[in-house]
Structure 1
Amino acid sequence: MMEITSGTTEDGQWIREQLITYNRQHVPAALYTEAEQYCFLAWNEDEELLGGVTASYVWNHLQVHFLWIDPENRTGGVGKQLMAKIESIAEEKSCSKILLDTFNFQAPGFYKKLGFEEYGRLDDHPAKGQTQYFFVKYL
């Protein structure tokens, strides 16, 4: 018989380390490096935050986690400039691709204009009638 219990933060870290150890048996040694985290912020001349982006580097690609643009500045090129910064980091790290996901109520069209291609979608997520899109841009 099996019992399932709640684990601690330390237990979660241990599980993560076990999977990393397993994964290293199946990927080239050059990809073993720990992930690097990135966060870039865009400011105007009045020192007001216009937007920001977070991403991480792992396994020869950049994963964009969050791109947020202040609603009053969504047509001023802020997102495009932040994503250009992400792409420059990806090129600097010799990445093969940039990955991200977005929802239909966010900006799938924006990413397509930047050269991202849809490689998957999850319909009725996070709610009925909504869609989560998965995008890649090969470099």
Structure 2
Amino acid sequence: MMEITIGTTEDGQWIREQLIAYNRQHVPTSVYTETETYCFLAWDEEEELLGGVTASYMWNHLQVHFLWVDPENRTGGVGKQLMEKIESIAEEKSCSKILLDTFNFQAPGFYEKLGFEEYGRLADHPAEGQTQYFFVKYL
């Protein structure tokens, strides 16, 4: 008989390390790197936060996690400049691609204008009538 219990943060880290060790056996050394995380913020002259982006680097690609732009500044190029910064990091790291996901109520058209291509979608997520899109930009 098996029992399932709640694990600690340390247990979660141990599980992560076990999967990383397993993955190292199957992923070519040339693309296996340690993860690096990034966070960039955009500020105006009055030191007001306009937006920010977070991402991580691993396995020869950059994964964008969150891009947020203040609603009053969504047409001023803030998002584009933040994504250009992400792309410059990806190029600096010699990444082959940038990956991200977005929802229909967020910005799929914005990412398409930046050269991202849809490679998948999940309908009725997070709720009925909504769609999650998965994008890639090959570098």
Name the TM tier (shorter chain).
over 0.9
Q: What's the counterpart of residue 71 of structure 2?
A: 71
Contact 2:32–2:60, Cα closer than 8 Å, also in 1? no
1:23 aligns with 23
Instruction: Give the structure 2 partner of residue 53 of structure 1.
Output: 53
Compute the displacement of 1:31 (Å): 2.9
Q: Moved runs in structure 1, 4+ residues, more than 3 A?
A: none
Query: 1:96 is matched by which residue type in structure 2?
Result: S
Deviations 1:45-76 (A, max 9, x none): 11111000000000000000000000000000
SS in 1 for 2:34: coil
SS at match of 2:45: coil
Gapped regions of structure 2 (runs ≥ 5): none
The residue that corresponds to 2:8 in the other structure is 8
Rounded Cα–Cα distance in structure 2 between residues aligned with 1:92 and 1:70 = 28
Q: Which moved more, 1:91-100 or 1:28-37?
A: 28-37
| Number of residue-to-residue matches in the alignment | 139
Pairwise CA RMSD = 0.7
CA distance in 2, matches of 1:94, 1:29: 15
| Unmatched runs of 5 consecutive residues or more in structure 1 | none
* Residue-by-residue CA offset, 1:117-138 (whole Å, 9 max, x unaligned): 0000000000000000000000
* Secondary structure of the structure 2 residue equivalent to 1:111: helix
TM-score (norm 2): 0.98
Counterparts of 1:1-139 in structure 2 under 5 Å? 1-139=1-139
* 2:13 maps to amino acid: Q
| Aligned-partner SS, 1:29 | coil
Percent of aligned pairs with the same residue?
A: 89
Deviation of the 1:33 alpha carbon: 2.1
Kept in 1: contact 2:33–2:60 (CA 8 A): no
CA contact (8 A) 2:52 2:67 kept: yes
